[in-house]
Structure 1
Amino acid sequence: MATQFLRRFFAPRSLVVIGASPKPESMGGIVLQNLLQAGFAGPVWAINPRGYQEVHGVTCFRRIADLPEIPDLAIVCSPLSGVPAVLERLGRRQVRAALIVSGGASLEDDSRDGKALRARLERATLRSGMRVLGPECLGVAVPSMKLNATYASQPIGDGSVAYLGQSGMLGNAMIDWAAGREVGFSHLVTLGDSLDVQLPDLIDYLNQSGRCRALLLHLEAFGNARHFMTALRESSRNRLVLAIKSGRTAEATLRPVSSTAGVDRRDAIVDAALARAGVVRVGDSDELFDALETLSRLKPPKGDRLAIVSNGVGPALLAIDRLIDGGGRLAELGETAAGALKERRLDVSRPGRNPVDLGGRATPEDYLSALEIVARDPNVDAVLVLHAPTRLAPSLATANMLIEARQRFRHRLLVSWMGLKEALEARAACNRAGIPSYVSPEKAVRAFLHLVRYRQVQHLLQETPPSLPFDSSTGSRQRCHALIDDALNRRRDRLTHQETGEVLAAYGIECAPSEYVFDLEQAERATERLQGPWAVKIVHRDNCEPFRYWGESRRQATSLVQDLEQPGSVVDAVVRLEARVGEALPDSPIYSYCLQTMQRGKGSLQLCAGITRDAEFGPVIVFGMGGYKVDVMADRQTALPPLNMRLAEELMDRTRAGRLIREHSEDPDSAVGWVARLLVKLSQMASDLPRLKGLEINPLLLNHEGMMAVDFALDLGPASTQAIMPYPEQLRETVTLNGMEIEIRPIRGEDAPLITHFHTFLSEQSIRYRYFHHKAVLSPRELSQLSQINYDRQMAFIAVRRVEQAGGQQSGAAGTASPSEEMLGVVRVWNDSDNIRTEFSIIVRDDLHGSGLGRRLMRKMIDYSRQVGTLVMEGTILSDNLPMRRLLTSLGFELRTNVEEGTVEATLKLNEPQSDWQRHRLDAAMD
């Protein structure tokens, strides 16, 4: 239900506390006192059946029905067992939001009517028509609204940081930690058991808030992964998002999630998902605020090279260990910096080399001199100052000198003041001056790595990828679906080896030449068509299942015979394999025998790639070292589809296999390209074939000639949903306009170069009509935002036509001539999170004005928006844009002129509201 009625939690006009009590230690008493102490300006009432006239000075009623008016928000603090009845009474009173602070009881316990408390609460919530937050949550606090509807033990300061969590006690601890660090909150919410309002709903709501500049998340479970990823990706484009996840291990998970086939550590999938959403993940609650302090005060550096200036080599070595373990790099000082350090005799341990050891006799002036040299070195991305107090360099004196000179340092500056008594004042002074300071070298390095990680994940979120070398065709998808349908009709939950090879071939993945035979005579004849030596694999039901490592040694011995030199040996192998399987796996039907030429030699590297399915995030792409060793998963890394070439390379670079490819291949660029293209094809396969449950290609051989899939397995399951909405291929269409064939399709990340070229065809007036000001050049960030859209919330249809590239240029796969595209126009919409309203924009090349392309694009978008259930399409155009005004009028838009702004507001009703809430939102939008 997205943000329906959520405003009543964060900006209520009136409140009622149910279960309010004059006892100061009671939950209701604490919540009511916090509301009053925060200074909430609206009416506040209390409900208590004991008949109190007032509670803590607030008028009290016996029953909900006695309230003088309908409150915006009900805060329920009464015993949890009676809450279902309370919700039903609130629903009859037409209250639209309830915050259940009550807890202390298991939701799975049976009640008197034989139904668990959870089921009773869910039924009451559904019947009431309310939005319900909780139960067992800390509550909601919005300090700027003077709202503290929590049982927190102390006041909550105002600020620009929002905290969303699932644990009330951890939320209480966050409040205390934040107070100690003078951090205020724009919003603070914990969800408890999340019967109704979910974490993505709250993220969607906060995405509309200008006060929330940073978002802290405590995660336990994800629920609807697509909703979660959509909301999170939207949020991290506009603010800093940090997350801590409990339940990294199965033992720490209250609601266990089934393991993911082919992935040894399921938490790695959470890592991949958060990184893909542009989120920095931290390991513990203390690190959460360290990361917030660093990232809110410093801009991410351009790289991961750190220089260290210290008055002792011991602390510097501790910092270096932490840096290298965390994936950072120790900067190598350039000749100019090294020479200057030697000349001034500042570096006493290894003159001119990083770390710079000033020695125990260093003064504040020595620190400043060394910093001025190191910070100017172009090989340095950030500088860490380590300081242990001495008589010659007291902590506070050194801190004051750094503070006075901080504007002269071009690079990022982090400081660790070691110690306690003297260091406290230095840390406080630096904090006031906006210089992040830390209690230990290790914490300071961890903070630097947060900066590096933030830059990496934001780059993944906003980068513009290169052109894709592969698009699936309708024919290839149909062939694969036919194979899957046939297998399911035969009551098989996996494809045979031969059928899996056909699926791979349909997506352009080369497989080792194979002959599939069914008896001895066919096996002998097959040796005439394939060059020896040979390998024979028996294909039976059990070895058509991907990622079966628990019985790998038995599977290998039972199913495969290698290095066969004579045709007769092949026949003997078939006989032996049939006997082995019959004895070891009598319940596994035999489908065929696969005969292949041995694929050893050529300096091949064995890799593994495939698709698995996670219980929360759906399809996941896996990649790493291959072979059939027990520890094959140790190198395996994961990524969420859809992938492009750069995301595929990023997945490779996280593996040992990827490093081997880059370091030892004869032609690393070609090898990386081959593997990345394969991973993109797997990503496309995951999107095209939702019933594909798992696919393992292992071994996948890579050598100087290319890539080849040698062995593979594929199984099937119910249709899945990807956590990130894939490219909507079905919305493509080809039209003929004035004798010109044009394709209208959704935009994709690879279209950024088309947008750049398209802008060269636009006049200053066309650009002003679109952006309301002149914009000659689009920045890389703007290109990314225009091309890499979230299809769950946005849509952009571009019109393109194909033109042959000049000069015989080639693109796509090596040696394949390919036509190029040029962009003719684009129409966009941005939906709100509740799909009530969508805002449109459109622009067409100047040389195609009057051709009818703008009308065609607008009709395409109007039809699409109607189909997805959007209620209203809106747009703002300049008053002097007469052609657009005529077009919109002819399409049925209602135009309203804003004389003061010099604009025209255009509105088109698309669908009728289906609920009172939608009707209310629509009426508000039209006012």
Structure 2
Amino acid sequence: MTIRNLDAIFSPASVALIGASRTPKSIGAVLTDNLLKTGFPGQIYLVNPRYESIREHRSYPDIKSLPVTPDLAIIATPPRQIPEIIAELAANGTRGAVVITAGYGEKEKENGKRWKQAILEASRPNLLRVIGPNCLGIMVPGQCLNASFGHLNPLTGNLAFVAQSGALLTSVLDWATSREIGFSHFVSLGDMVDVDFGDMLDYLAADGPTQAILLYIESITNARKFMSAARAAARLKPVIVVKGGRFTESAQAAASHTGALAGIDGVFDAAFRRAGILRVMDMEALFNAVETLSMARPLSGDRLAILTNGGGVGVLATDTLIEKQGRLATLDPETIARLDEVLPPTWSRTNPIDIIGDADGERYHKAMSVLLEDKGVDAILVMNCPTAISSSTDSARAVIQAVEQRKSIFRRPMLLAGWLGDGAALEARHLFRKSRIPCYQSPSDAVRGFMQMVRYQHSQEMLMETVPNIPGRFTPDTEKVRRIIAQALSKQRDWLSDDEARLVLAAYDIPVVQALFTATPEEAGTAAAVFSGPLALKIISPDIHHKSDVGGVILDLENGEAVREAAAHMQQRLTREFPAAQLTGFSVQQMIRRPHGRELIIGAFTDDQFGPVLLFGHGGTAVEVIRDKALALPPLNIHLAREVMARTRVYRLLQEYRNTPAADIDAVALSLVKLSQLVCDIAEITELDINPLVADEHGVMALDARIRICPAKGEATERLAIRPYPRELEEHLTLADGRRLLLRPIRPEDETGFQEIFAALSPEEIRMRFLHPMNSLPHKLAARLTQIDYAREMALVLEGPINENDDKTILYGGVRIIADPDNEEAEFAILLRKEMTGSGLGPMLMRRIIDYARNRGIGKLFGEVLTDNTPMLRLAAAFGFTCRPVRDDAGLRLLELKL
């Protein structure tokens, strides 16, 4: 389930409190008081057989005695009673419940699991939704609903806060209320037996009053649902998260370098990045983010100007900015000249702009008025240190006045304030917040607030950035890999041999060093004759995965005799020091001489919650010591591969420096894309290392690899947190004129093709297809049409050659559906190049998308069409769509087809 019946929880017409009480300071009494005192306009029913009345309200003995069926039930009874209560409520038609009761976990763990499952089983047949158990409750200020045992009622506002921890919710509530920050929703999810973060993200993304979503997450329940919901929500409004348990060690026993480097927190961080969520590290940072998001105007860039009456705090702010990888704005010469006219001769004449310690309100006003008009400034941090010479409050009023006087400026920088001190700054901070200007108590807090906005802006750009075409597309030999792994599993092995690992990489077009595998030292010496130049010798053992750790790698051997002697010494040492390890042979390789080579590691491992995770970093024997790595969720494209690479220090070594040419970064990125495809295709791969992957100006070469396998529990794509490109939907078509077209799912790199289709449309065709005139297809819209979530949407496009003698292909059109989170109904749209109309492609596309929707279990297709779009209306009628006016609008028709 997703958002179904959540409206009954957050916007109910009636509420029943089961477990109401008049015992002072009991949870039931606090719930009763909160529910009755907030002015909830609907009906409230109190249920407790021990009382006839509570707080002058009638108390009902049980659920069956209620005069009506409540939309929402708040339950605070002993755990054993709750499954039966849920079943009775659901049978009567109640659509939502919040279970406050704790006691489902620690001391009676097995009983707790059984009761939670019983709650779920009782609720599902009638689609009753459950929040909790073990939660604080919910608060919806706009509905005057406080169904919690919190100590305060939140102010009404546009922020939603969702957390697993009730104590953390109350802390945020206390902090926000003192700063007059309001909320649209306050939700404690507790143990998440039903409603989870994915459900809440879907619901809040569509909630009009909610302009930003704050999350405190300790765990998630369904990775794919969470990722789909988070990506959808983050496209619409800011989503900010604090993750609890950052340093919890992974329970997975990892034998690979990749597994050893990974950790739970790193995986969550990769997931948040991929979803476009802004992550902050602690509650203080979350508070700063709340203040910034609730008050600051949108940010258009990352160039910060710092205006202060204290040079020292300007330096501290700059230090924090540079530490956080921010950017100081460069003042325009005209701005400096204008500041010269209004500031003392001793002002800093650079950014930070030190207007000197005796600055009064008038000086702040004049300096701000100039800065607000500098087009090279995206944001201004204005700070004040208290002095005996001038009033902090007057300076604040002057800044606010300067901003108010320039509200008409088309491009006005975002403004943040940092008023230092305690008593002297209190009134000034109040004035700023009243004027919707975020105000902080220290330079570092202010800069962190700014950088949170920068990171959020960057995450949004990442979601909408045009994806380049993959250089040198590759065709993997997936069946060959499946045969290799099946053979290994048939022998009950959980690691592929070195030879098998190389064959797997080669099947996915990852360059691997040539090697010969021998059984004895003598065979190794003979094999050396095949190569010229220095040689490398490595042991092969299913029991030893890190060869260098046991002296199992010897380099720069000159000839066959040296190889034979080294192999014999290896064999003796292994028998002596590791008698339990099985030695199956030796690998003889030619030494790879790449003077400019950089040693990298790329790999994959399996996370318990998010499934396969990819790793890129600094490779070599010291990989765990250096720990320079970044993680990403598959599937990857070139754009995402470059992004994960750029998050490491070794990425800078791949650039040109001194006399070292730049490495072939495209080749490295493409290797990551190929590795991503491998783990998307092959469910049996659980861990994989390529270490080192040597990269230089000539490309990449994998020198060593290890792959861990286990029998698959399902299809490869089922274990992924993000559904990959569905190749199974590709289909070749032959037109009547002999042209062959490929019908396939859309890809992110198709944005250019869509722009070309749009450019070829006439103004009338644009109006027909987009329902209103458009001069161009905005980048954000084009990116949204091509960068889709295959778990919730589908777009099929037609691709083919321009003519039979040309290898270049173009898009001829396509069809799409966008399903609701519950997969109940989907909106469809179709687009064809004008020259393809009348060729039968329209009906073909419509048939394909109807079949796809039906196979997905979608119940209804719908779409809005202009009344004068006769061809589309005829096509829809041919497929059985019904047609009716849209909201009494004679210009629009609603098409619907029940599946």
* TM-score category of the 2 structures, normalised to the smaller one: over 0.9
Equivalent position amino acid for 1:169 in 2: A
Query: Which whole-Å CA distance do the structure 2 matches of 1:424 and 1:330 have between them?
Result: 28
Query: Which whole-Å CA distance do the structure 2 matches of 1:438 and 1:290 have between them?
Result: 8
Are the aligned partners of 2:79 and 2:115 in contact in 1 as well (CA < 8 Å)? no
**Distance of aligned partners of 1:455 and 1:805 in 2 relative to their CA distance in 1, 3 Å threshold:** farther
CA shift for structure 1 position 601: 4.3
| Counterpart in the other structure of 2:31 | 31
Are the aligned partners of 2:843 and 2:875 in contact in 1 as well (CA < 8 Å)? yes
| Counterpart in the other structure of 1:851 | 839
Is 2:400 aligned against 1:403? Answer: yes
Query: Which whole-Å CA distance do the structure 1 matches of 2:847 and 2:660 have between them?
Result: 49
Is 2:509 aligned against 1:508? Answer: yes
Q: For structure 2, which runs of at least 5 residues remain unmatched after alignment? A: none
Kindly provide the CA deviation profile for residues 864-909 of structure 1, in whole angstroms up to 9, marking residues without a partner as x.
1111111111111111111111111111222224463322221112
Are the aligned partners of 2:248 and 2:264 in contact in 1 as well (CA < 8 Å)? no
| Counterpart in the other structure of 2:898 | 909
Are the aligned partners of 1:161 and 1:213 in contact in 2 as well (CA < 8 Å)? yes
| Counterpart in the other structure of 1:123 | 118
Query: Which whole-Å CA distance do the structure 2 matches of 1:301 and 1:70 have between them?
Result: 48
Look up the SS of the partner of 2:654 in the other structure: helix
Are the aligned partners of 1:272 and 1:640 in contact in 2 as well (CA < 8 Å)? yes
Are the aligned partners of 2:747 and 2:786 in contact in 1 as well (CA < 8 Å)? yes
| Counterpart in the other structure of 2:852 | 864
Are the aligned partners of 1:16 and 1:74 in contact in 2 as well (CA < 8 Å)? yes
CA shift for structure 1 position 128: 4.3
Are the aligned partners of 1:300 and 1:452 in contact in 2 as well (CA < 8 Å)? no
| Counterpart in the other structure of 2:537 | 536
Paired residues for 1:766-805 under 5 Å: 766-803=765-802
| Counterpart in the other structure of 2:692 | 699
Are the aligned partners of 2:594 and 2:696 in contact in 1 as well (CA < 8 Å)? no
Query: Which whole-Å CA distance do the structure 2 matches of 1:107 and 1:519 have between them?
Result: 57
Are the aligned partners of 1:133 and 1:191 in contact in 2 as well (CA < 8 Å)? yes
Look up the SS of the partner of 1:606 in the other structure: strand
Query: Which whole-Å CA distance do the structure 2 matches of 1:161 and 1:257 have between them?
Result: 37
CA shift for structure 1 position 293: 2.3
| Counterpart in the other structure of 1:757 | 756
Is 2:644 aligned against 1:651? Answer: yes
Query: Which whole-Å CA distance do the structure 2 matches of 1:472 and 1:693 have between them?
Result: 23
Q: Report the more deviating stretch, 529-538 or 710-719.
A: 710-719
| Counterpart in the other structure of 1:142 | 140
CA shift for structure 1 position 576: 2.3
Is 2:869 aligned against 1:881? Answer: yes
Are the aligned partners of 1:510 and 1:708 in contact in 2 as well (CA < 8 Å)? yes
Among 391, 394, 400, which residue is 1:394 paired with?
391
**Distance of aligned partners of 1:448 and 1:94 in 2 relative to their CA distance in 1, 3 Å threshold:** closer
The Cα RMSD (Å) is 2.5
CA shift for structure 1 position 654: 1.1
CA shift for structure 1 position 336: 4.8
| Counterpart in the other structure of 2:420 | 418
CA shift for structure 1 position 124: 3.9
| Counterpart in the other structure of 2:729 | 731
Q: TM-score, normalised by structure 1?
A: 0.90
Kindly provide the CA deviation profile for residues 509-564 of structure 1, in whole angstroms up to 9, marking residues without a partner as x.
111222222334542332222122101111211345xxxxxxx5x74333211111
Equivalent position amino acid for 2:40 in 1: F
CA shift for structure 1 position 413: 2.5
Query: Which whole-Å CA distance do the structure 1 matches of 2:836 and 2:641 have between them?
Result: 37
Look up the SS of the partner of 2:692 in the other structure: strand
Query: Which whole-Å CA distance do the structure 1 matches of 2:498 and 2:673 have between them?
Result: 22
Q: Report the more deviating stretch, 519-528 or 759-768.
A: 519-528
Is 2:635 aligned against 1:642? Answer: yes
Query: Which whole-Å CA distance do the structure 2 matches of 1:302 and 1:443 have between them?
Result: 21
Among 380, 383, 398, which residue is 2:380 paired with?
383
Query: Which whole-Å CA distance do the structure 2 matches of 1:334 and 1:319 have between them?
Result: 21
Is 2:464 aligned against 1:469? Answer: no
Are the aligned partners of 1:796 and 1:827 in contact in 2 as well (CA < 8 Å)? yes
Are the aligned partners of 1:805 and 1:820 in contact in 2 as well (CA < 8 Å)? no
| Counterpart in the other structure of 2:575 | 582
**Distance of aligned partners of 1:375 and 1:143 in 2 relative to their CA distance in 1, 3 Å threshold:** closer
| Counterpart in the other structure of 1:570 | 563
Are the aligned partners of 2:331 and 2:377 in contact in 1 as well (CA < 8 Å)? yes
Are the aligned partners of 1:47 and 1:62 in contact in 2 as well (CA < 8 Å)? yes
CA shift for structure 1 position 287: 2.2
Query: Which whole-Å CA distance do the structure 2 matches of 1:399 and 1:509 have between them?
Result: 61
| Counterpart in the other structure of 1:20 | 20
Are the aligned partners of 2:612 and 2:633 in contact in 1 as well (CA < 8 Å)? yes
CA shift for structure 1 position 446: 0.7
Query: Which whole-Å CA distance do the structure 1 matches of 2:387 and 2:872 have between them?
Result: 73
Q: Report the more deviating stretch, 292-301 or 163-172.
A: 292-301
Among 242, 245, 267, which residue is 1:244 paired with?
242
Query: Which whole-Å CA distance do the structure 2 matches of 1:893 and 1:284 have between them?
Result: 52
Look up the SS of the partner of 2:477 in the other structure: helix
Matched pairs, number = 881
| Counterpart in the other structure of 2:130 | 132
CA shift for structure 1 position 418: 1.0
Is 2:226 aligned against 1:228? Answer: yes
Look up the SS of the partner of 1:735 in the other structure: strand
CA shift for structure 1 position 630: 5.8
Equivalent position amino acid for 2:183 in 1: F
Are the aligned partners of 1:263 and 1:633 in contact in 2 as well (CA < 8 Å)? no
Query: Which whole-Å CA distance do the structure 1 matches of 2:578 and 2:376 have between them?
Result: 61
Are the aligned partners of 1:609 and 1:700 in contact in 2 as well (CA < 8 Å)? yes
| Counterpart in the other structure of 1:205 | 203
Equivalent position amino acid for 2:38 in 1: A
Query: Which whole-Å CA distance do the structure 1 matches of 2:123 and 2:636 have between them?
Result: 43
Paired residues for 1:620-631 under 5 Å: 620-629=613-622, 631=624
| Counterpart in the other structure of 1:834 | 822
CA shift for structure 1 position 24: 3.9
Paired residues for 1:290-329 under 5 Å: 290-299=288-297, 301-329=299-327
Equivalent position amino acid for 1:723 in 2: A
Query: Which whole-Å CA distance do the structure 1 matches of 2:804 and 2:300 have between them?
Result: 36
Query: Which whole-Å CA distance do the structure 1 matches of 2:182 and 2:399 have between them?
Result: 27
CA shift for structure 1 position 165: 0.8
Among 438, 443, 450, which residue is 2:440 paired with?
438
Are the aligned partners of 2:663 and 2:696 in contact in 1 as well (CA < 8 Å)? no
Are the aligned partners of 2:605 and 2:614 in contact in 1 as well (CA < 8 Å)? yes
Is 2:57 aligned against 1:42? Answer: no
| Counterpart in the other structure of 1:814 | none
| Counterpart in the other structure of 1:549 | none
Is 2:491 aligned against 1:490? Answer: yes
Query: Which whole-Å CA distance do the structure 2 matches of 1:429 and 1:460 have between them?
Result: 36
Are the aligned partners of 2:641 and 2:673 in contact in 1 as well (CA < 8 Å)? yes
CA shift for structure 1 position 32: 2.1
Equivalent position amino acid for 2:897 in 1: L
Query: Which whole-Å CA distance do the structure 2 matches of 1:842 and 1:713 have between them?
Result: 47
Query: Which whole-Å CA distance do the structure 2 matches of 1:182 and 1:141 have between them?
Result: 16
| Counterpart in the other structure of 1:913 | none
Is 2:693 aligned against 1:677? Answer: no
Query: Which whole-Å CA distance do the structure 1 matches of 2:807 and 2:568 have between them?
Result: 52
Among 196, 215, 219, which residue is 1:217 paired with?
215
Identity of aligned residues (%): 38
Query: Which whole-Å CA distance do the structure 2 matches of 1:386 and 1:320 have between them?
Result: 12
Is 2:344 aligned against 1:356? Answer: no
Q: For structure 1, which runs of at least 5 residues remain unmatched after alignment? A: 545-551, 807-817, 911-927
Query: Which whole-Å CA distance do the structure 1 matches of 2:578 and 2:898 have between them?
Result: 64
Is 2:88 aligned against 1:86? Answer: no
Kindly provide the CA deviation profile for residues 205-255 of structure 1, in whole angstroms up to 9, marking residues without a partner as x.
22222121111111110121111111111111111111111111228x9xx
| Counterpart in the other structure of 1:744 | 743
